[in-house]
Structure formats: structure tokens, C-alpha cells
Structure 1
């Protein structure tokens, strides 16, 4: 490693040996470990981190303090030995001891230039690839006969970004929306449709007629009507015990594969999925599977019989439960309810059967559920039951929970009428605000964009604003849905990052039109150093986002990189550089930044428009 760092600018040792195997932080940690070993110190405390303040340099190392405690020596003495050894590497232009034993590090301009050049030459921009494993992601969670609403937004946006981030580091992914299409809600809906559309063939006493396939034309109503039927059914069942009893009977009939119930169920399921896939497409969200609770229905009976036989579930007041409490629990852990006293299966039943089915059919290394954090107890119970039953080890089951989408009042977002906001309406609000903002800009000295293109741009900017606002918040925290602020071209938001990317593309296009090409990078000016250093952090940020299932780290990085580029753009003329060497160097750095920004946005599920 030392030889690669000390090699001349023309050598390819760095490119060949480093970027394909390690991030910048990994390279520097290994360099520190080597220095510690050379000094005779234990190397397990080797860690180089970004400096807390610019005046301290670019990087910091605090290894002297734990070593001093362990070796009973002064931290400053240990730090002095380490700085001497690190100074020999040729990687740093400044290594200094500060205070009681802090080590401040500034990378060599030559070394940083070579790292940036190697990163530009790397097809994946230096992102370190892992040994592939299969991660199955469960997100979205739509329900039959119901529109996607604000509650689905975060699951879809976060889940899609995690899919892309995990693939970027070499993981294999398999995604499933896990449709809610079975159970009591279906019995309620069938009862309501029978009251309002008794003439439908599915209600015929002739079983052959009842089994006839239905489509929207045969039903006589579309998705808008269907979405209004369920609330009426739920309200009626809540008020009238007889209606609830009817719904339970119809649910039992459906689960017994009554031909009329199955024919109607298939029709409303297909209609719902068709509508919901439009929302998936609007968010550029992709699923490998669109399975539902119904797909594991055949597994449930044998699963419950097996759990009974092994003594893992027992009857309690007529219900079937699994005791999932563990020694060491600091709070009471209620048993997992798998079947009510009337034999009806529950969400927990289908979730447990889904884990069993997924493990049998796909053998994933990890199962990640991107679901509202308010369901954390449910998933803790189900995961414990799955581990007890031997379906899947506890460590392979992960609940990637998230907080709520809130209004400007800080409370969970509602419509003006106090109802749950539809996802399509939320996206429409953001697109409308983006359209207004673009109209203001086009009348303020900016390039006038033709109306059709402006409409596409409004959609791109509006959806980018929604996604970036969501993903820039730590997923466990809620965030405020405020379209006015989200679509601004200034501040920590999606359009700001999009605009930086578009600016780079525009500049590179002008350079190409003039026959100018990127050359060898020579990082010299402070703004160049700052930008090259930010670019070098890309691989470690992607790795951390993948490890922690935290897209917010990538969103924050994209914003910081856009800021660094804008400072560079103001301080360091590119096309108007003083000489050809400087011009080509800055074009190369701009090209690298543009590629990284575009990749960041892609990993967040955000597209980059041609112009803004």
C-alpha cells in the first residue's frame, strides 16, 4: 500500500490496487493500522475520520488516547511516533499533533489528484463491491380496493432507494409489494358489493355462472367507485353486528374458495393492482413480485398444524397463540395471536406464513421489511415466532421502520377535510408547486422552456422534491410535507441537487461543442481540494447507507457535494481557465462530480432532467 501511495503520477498501482477493493476511509484506516504496527502498537483502534473543523485539516485520528490508557503512556508521545510514521507514506502533505494527542491530517494534493483520477476511470466510481448475498425487501403494502395514501409514501420511496443502494454495493435484491388481499376486509367488501350490485353474475345461485370471469365492464363500476365501497362497508360493519357477522361468513366462503366469491375477488384484485401500479410508476418504484396474503393461504393450515404438533403454539381462551417472551425482556412481551377463537387467521398468521414461504422458495440471506415504525411490536413478535419455529434466524429478519409524514402543524398529514391524503394527491400538490416555481423562473430572465417540456420538468422536479424531503430525513424520524419549501431551488432539497447536476451537464456539453476534453487532474486551489475530497468520500457513504439501511446519509452527501461544486464553480473558472492544462483538469473534476451527483440521485430514485 505504501508503494502505491508513493508511486509517480504515471503509475497505475493506485488505480489497480485500491479503488477496486477499498474506499478512501478503508484505505486510510489500513494505512494507519500499518503505521501502528510499525510502531509496535496494537492496530485494532485504527480509525481515521473526517475532521470536525476545517482548520484541523481534512482528517483526524484519535487512536493515541485509547492506546495511552492501555499502554500507560502519554497520548502526545504516542501521537508523535505515529505522525512520524504516517509522514513517511507520501499520502499526506501535513501530519500534525494537536492538543493532548489528536492527530490532524491533510492529504497530499498529488495523492488526492491521483485518487480522483482513478475514481473517474472506475465504472462504478470506486464503490466497493461485496460478495453477493440475496436481500429480500418487502415494501409498499397496498390493499385491495383502497387507494395508495400518505402512509404508503415513505414505504415506497425508502424501499425503492434501499433496493438501488444495495444493488450498488453488489447485493442481489428481490422485492415484493405484499398486497393486502385476504381476510375480513374482503368479506366486508363482498357484502357491500352484493348489496349495491346484486345483479352481478358472481352472486348467481348457479355455481357455473357464479364462477364466470369478471372485468370492469362486467362489474359496471371502476376503481373510483370501488375505493368508495370499502369505507361504506367498514362503517356498516362497525355499526351493525349483523353486518359484521355477514362479513365473517363471506370471508369464510372466500377462504373456502366459493366460486362466486373467488370470481369477484379476482376482479377487484386485478382492478386494484392496475390502479396501484400507476402510482408505482409515478414514483419509479419497481417490484419483482406482486404477491399477496392470498398467495400463502394454502400454507397456513399445515403451518398451524405443525406448530401445534411441536408444542410451539397453544390454545388460550379458545385462541391459538405463540409465547414469544424471552428472558431478559425489559418490558412485557404479549404472545403472538395466530388464530382467533372462531378460527379466523390474522395478519400475524399470514406474515409468519409469508416468512416460511419466502425462505422455502428463495432462501434469502436477509428479509427487510420497510414498514411504519408503529408496527415494531408486531414485527418483533412475528420475527421471534419465526426464529422459534426454525423458519429463519432472528438476525436475518429486519424491520426497517420509519416515522410519519407530517403536516406543517407537526401532526400526521391529513387532507383539509381531516381525512387520509391519497398518494396521487400528494404528488399532484408537489407537481403543481413545481409548475408554479418554473413559471416564475421562466419569466425572470431564465431560458424559456416549451410548455410540453416544462410539464415534464414540473413532474420531475415535484417528485424529486417529495423523494428528497423524505429520504433526507433519518427514516425513524417523521418529516414535514410542505410543497412550498420542498420545490425551492435553494436550500437542502431535491431541486437544488438536480440543478447542480444539470449545470454540470450543460457546462460539459458546451465544452464538448468547443472540442474540449477532460484531462489529467491537478488538484491545487482550495475549492478544487474540497470538491475532490468530497468526491473521494462517495464509496464510504454508499457503503454506510447500505449497512445502516439509511438513504438519508446519501441524500445529505449529495447536498454537500452539490454545495462543494457550486463553490468550486464560483471560485475556479473551468471553460475560462487560465491555460489548457488547468482547463482540462477542471473539466475532469467537473465530470467526476457530475457522474457522482447523477449516481446519488439515481440511488435515491430521482431522475435528472435535461435542463432546468
Structure 2
């Protein structure tokens, strides 16, 4: 199904051609002055130089060709040469009906579907998720959903940090606390216990304790470094402990991500990339890319066009240990081998940009990826408190993600109970659904690359540009539709008729922009564009609702038309919030 703007542009292009001008000037945009017109074409302004003609003369010639337009009810020239356009209500209604019949609501499936891996989440095992993990998880999840909706094969990978010093620290602390455990007995040859010697809460206490000790006690740190080395060499007892750490930690991570309605296709880990490192490093050395510099093994990645210093990409430290850089490169090797992706997108804190410049350049220079494989970095900004500093607890510590979610749910529960709109037994469940919308919409409505203020009071408000406002609009539509059915009405009959007032036409025009918006949101990896769109649709619907008697309309055909438009509006809004990663309750 062709987008509404494409159909307009086709008619404008034909008019330019009939008037003797290049049809490429027939581009149409939404009017930046909605008080004057609905759409506009500025092609005559662009063509003036090429044709040595005043733009208003070109515009006059074009408008003369639109006198019997199928689409436009008004085409008017405004000096110095803009063409102001209004659309026929009949054409818009026809488009609405076709859109309602389309399972994808007018969004065309990609003609050349790509395989895209999104690396998002990225938590370290044995540590609780905190607010710093929020943005990667929900931005990545939304981009994954948008990509799938437009027809690409999108694979989400959590990419767990599981192979660094943190493991050595945990093993060392466990050895100090419980030296009698069989994992530390080098003479033990039996089967290791199936049950972990710690719970998730104990594990989450052990790591910070060990980390603190290692900063103050050099001998302790050296012991942890040795434990890390032995683990990476495959020491049986340490490998058994590592498996326990992974099982306990990943189970908890999955629970926390499920609470955010975030899920991953792959639960790959840094350790999965380890087998690829030796051959990768050896190959880079053989082909002359990798060389020693002060004992470390590096690859030059600077380019002549660089305006700032880009240091060499380090593969191995002087003691032979690998780094994040090495693991990320080896992970690219693994992904190319297993999936042959067309694109690998990393959704990571923007402060890691230099790291990814080095990794991407090294991967390209050494041929780890095909020339046409796209490596992309979406660096997101910081989530800050009202003081403009990174979001903290009242005590000044880093807030656990599950505590933030609980706080938001509690605030939503309080507001829902105050409204007395939902029975007590349902209020808790409803609060969770609305609370998730507050968190996700509050974050995703900001451009990903920018820092933003996480304001609980504003994000949980039922008014303004918030998740709860969007859900409230959807619930209002559901309520009207349900009442009609309860009164014996049939929602499967009727079709959308031309708009009877300006607010209805405005709602239709907003809905008609859905396909272009989704495609643009995917192209630019920009969930905030979906948020901006559904806020406009919600405002347009609420204006229409307040100005129009829907259920009390006496003309049955007109009433059915209104209800079909409501169903289409609900579908567009519900599809959009699903792309953002949350849903709407039936009541709130």
C-alpha cells in the first residue's frame, strides 16, 4: 500500500511534468503552517534557478495542471512560489479504509530484508541491574521491535560481561570466607555440587565487598588476578564456581529484564568469544596488522582525516591478557561466522564512542567483516536526576533497577486508587502496566543521544506528553467501543466516511502518517519519533472526542463511521506502544 505522501507526490510530480518541468520537484511535505494549509510543495522555489524563471510563475503553471485533481481540494500559490495544498476529505476517507484493511496499517514490508544483530543490555553477571542499565535495554528493545515490524530479521543479544576480574574477585572472596568448599580442593576428583554455594543476594553482596578490598589490599588484588587467570585457563573447581555464578545471576537477570518487558534472542557472553581470540590474534600478526608496542600487541587504526588523536587498538596487554577490545573483536568474528549479519548495532553509553571507533576500524582494516557489513554505534546519553547529575538514590548511591520500577509502580498505584477508576484487586496489576509506560515513554520520548532528566512526578502524570496520557487515550477509546458493544452494537459493520468536522479530518491526517513515521523511526534508529507521533495522534483524538457526539449520533452510517475510525486509532496507538515495548490496560 502506497503511503499517502507518496500518492500526493506522484500527482504533484505529474503536474510539474505536464507543465514542462522536472518531475523531481514534486515533493510534498506536511505544512509548517497548519493554520494556512495541510501540506505544501516548495519545488517551484528549487526549480527557479534551473529554469531562470520566477518561482511563482513555475508554481502557477503547476497549479493549473491540478484543476481536476483526484487528491487535492485546494492548490494555491503563495508568493514567492510556495504551493499550499489541502486534501479532499473523500480521498482521506478512502485511504483510512484501505489502511484499516491492511494488517500492517499501511507499512510496507522491506523489499530486501536484512539480518541485523543488536547488542544491547550488556550487564555484568553477579551484579544487580541498576538505573545505568535502563537506557540500553529499552532503546535496544524498541529498535529491535521496529526493525522486525518493517520486515528485517533482527537478533537481540544481551552480551553479558562474565570473563573479567570480577570473576576472580568473587572466587577469591569465596575462598576467604569458605575455604572448606570442594572447589578449592585441588585433590578433589568427584562431581561438583549441583546447588550453588550462595544465593543471588549473597552473590550481590560478595562482589562489592571483594572489589572494595582489592582497591585497598594489593596482595588481595594479586590473588584475584591469579584466580581470574586460573579460571581462564580452565581450572576445574573455578569453572564449576563460574557455572554456579552464571546460573544464579542469569536467572535473576532474566527476571529483571522480564519486568521491563525486554527479552533477548541470544544470551551470549564474553567467554563465548574466547575460543576465537588465539586464531584472530595470530592472523593479525601474520598479515602484519598487529605489532608490539611497549610489550603490548596493538593495531594502528588512525586515519589521515582524523581531527583528533585515535590511539592504536590494543589486542593484548604486556602480560598477554586480553581486553574488552579483544573480546569485542572476537565477538564480531563469532557473529560473522554464525549469522553473516548485514549490520551489527551496538546500543551503548555514548562515553564509549572512542572504544567502538577503534573496534570498528580494526575489524574493517583486518577483514573481520565483509566490506558491505555495517557496524553501527548508537551512543545514548545519561539519565539524570532533577539536580542534573546522574540519577541516584536519596542516600546518594546507585539505584537498583528493580527499586526504581517498584517506586514508579507505587506512585502509579497511589494515583489510580485516588482516581477510584479501577477496583482494588485490579489496581496493582494496572499500576504495573501504567508504571512501565511511565518509565519507557519517559526515556524513549527523548532523543537517545541526549542526556535527560528522569522526573518521576512528570513521567507518572496523566496529562501532558507522558506514557500514562497515551494509555489513558487508548483506554478512553476502548471504553467507547465496549459501551457500543454492550448496547448491542456491531463493530464489524460500516466504513469510514469523509470527515464531518476539522478535528475529525485532522485525526485522519495524523493517522495517515503512520507508515512514513515507522519507516523513518527505523531508518534513524529513533524511537523518540514514535513517541512524538503518538502524542500528536492522542491530542488529535481527544480534540475529536470532545467536539463530536459519537455514541449519541443519530445517523447510523455516520455513527458506524466514527466507530471504525476509533478502532483504527486504537490499532495505530496499540501497535505504536508495542513498538516502544509496553502495552495498555483495559481500565485505569
CA distance in 2, matches of 1:483, 1:587: 35
Aligned-partner SS, 1:173:
strand
Question: Is residue 188–residue 230 contact of structure 1 (8 Å, CA) maintained in 2?
Answer: yes
The answer to whether 1:520 aligns with 2:495 is yes
Question: Is residue 159–residue 270 contact of structure 2 (8 Å, CA) maintained in 1?
Answer: yes
Deviates more, 1:515-524 or 1:413-422: 515-524
Which of 440, 445, 459 is the matching residue for 2:432?
Answer: 459
What residue in structure 2 maps to residue 74 of structure 1?
A: 54
CA distance in 2, matches of 1:395, 1:105: 42
Structure 1 residues 74 and 395: CA distance shift in structure 2, 3 A: farther
1:313-361 C-alpha deviation (Å, 9 max, x unpaired)? 1110000111110111111111111111011100010000001110111
Aligned-partner SS, 2:379:
coil
Question: Is residue 384–residue 394 contact of structure 1 (8 Å, CA) maintained in 2?
Answer: no
Which of 504, 527, 532 is the matching residue for 2:477?
Answer: 504
Which of 305, 325, 331 is the matching residue for 1:328?
Answer: 305
Q: In the TM superposition, what are the counterparts of 1:393-542 in structure 2 within 5 Å?
A: 393=371, 396-442=374-420, 447=421, 449-513=422-486, 514-517=488-491, 518-522=493-497, 523-542=499-518
Q: CA deviation at 1:25?
A: 2.2
TM-score, structure 1 as length reference? 0.93
Q: CA deviation at 1:56?
A: 2.1
CA distance in 2, matches of 1:238, 1:46: 66
1:383-436 C-alpha deviation (Å, 9 max, x unpaired)? 111111112247601111111111011111011222211110111111111011
CA RMSD of aligned residues (A): 1.4
CA distance in 1, matches of 2:51, 2:174: 78
CA distance in 1, matches of 2:423, 2:181: 49
Deviates more, 1:190-199 or 1:156-165: 190-199
Question: Is residue 65–residue 101 contact of structure 1 (8 Å, CA) maintained in 2?
Answer: yes
Question: Is residue 342–residue 372 contact of structure 2 (8 Å, CA) maintained in 1?
Answer: no
CA distance in 1, matches of 2:298, 2:309: 16
Question: Is residue 417–residue 424 contact of structure 2 (8 Å, CA) maintained in 1?
Answer: no
Structure 1 residues 261 and 549: CA distance shift in structure 2, 3 A: same
The answer to whether 1:97 aligns with 2:72 is no
Question: Is residue 55–residue 80 contact of structure 2 (8 Å, CA) maintained in 1?
Answer: yes
Q: CA deviation at 1:215?
A: 2.3
What residue in structure 2 maps to residue 12 of structure 1?
A: none
CA distance in 2, matches of 1:35, 1:181: 62
Q: CA deviation at 1:207?
A: 4.2
Question: Is residue 325–residue 332 contact of structure 1 (8 Å, CA) maintained in 2?
Answer: yes
Aligned-partner SS, 2:65:
helix
Question: Is residue 177–residue 291 contact of structure 1 (8 Å, CA) maintained in 2?
Answer: yes
Q: Structure 2: give runs of 5+ residues left out of the alignment.
A: none
The answer to whether 1:54 aligns with 2:31 is no
Q: In the TM superposition, what are the counterparts of 1:283-362 in structure 2 within 5 Å?
A: 283-362=260-339
Aligned-partner SS, 2:86:
strand
CA distance in 2, matches of 1:235, 1:87: 78
CA distance in 2, matches of 1:395, 1:327: 23
CA distance in 1, matches of 2:584, 2:304: 52
Aligned-partner SS, 1:54:
coil
The answer to whether 1:63 aligns with 2:63 is no
CA distance in 2, matches of 1:373, 1:485: 25
What residue in structure 1 maps to residue 160 of structure 2?
A: 179
CA distance in 2, matches of 1:450, 1:465: 21
The alignment covers a number of residue pairs equal to 583
Q: CA deviation at 1:32?
A: 2.6
CA distance in 2, matches of 1:183, 1:46: 58
Q: In the TM superposition, what are the counterparts of 1:349-388 in structure 2 within 5 Å?
A: 349-388=326-365
Which of 548, 551, 561 is the matching residue for 1:585?
Answer: 561
1:367-393 C-alpha deviation (Å, 9 max, x unpaired)? 111111111111111011111111224
What residue in structure 2 maps to residue 43 of structure 1?
A: 23
Deviates more, 1:509-518 or 1:332-341: 509-518
1:191-244 C-alpha deviation (Å, 9 max, x unpaired)? 1111112122211122424x614423xx0x211111111112112222222222
Which of 111, 116, 121 is the matching residue for 2:96?
Answer: 116
Aligned-partner SS, 1:370:
strand
Aligned-partner SS, 1:554:
helix
Q: Structure 1: give runs of 5+ residues left out of the alignment.
A: 1-18
Question: Is residue 96–residue 508 contact of structure 2 (8 Å, CA) maintained in 1?
Answer: yes
Question: Is residue 391–residue 454 contact of structure 2 (8 Å, CA) maintained in 1?
Answer: yes
Question: Is residue 323–residue 335 contact of structure 1 (8 Å, CA) maintained in 2?
Answer: yes
CA distance in 1, matches of 2:287, 2:251: 42
Question: Is residue 49–residue 61 contact of structure 1 (8 Å, CA) maintained in 2?
Answer: yes
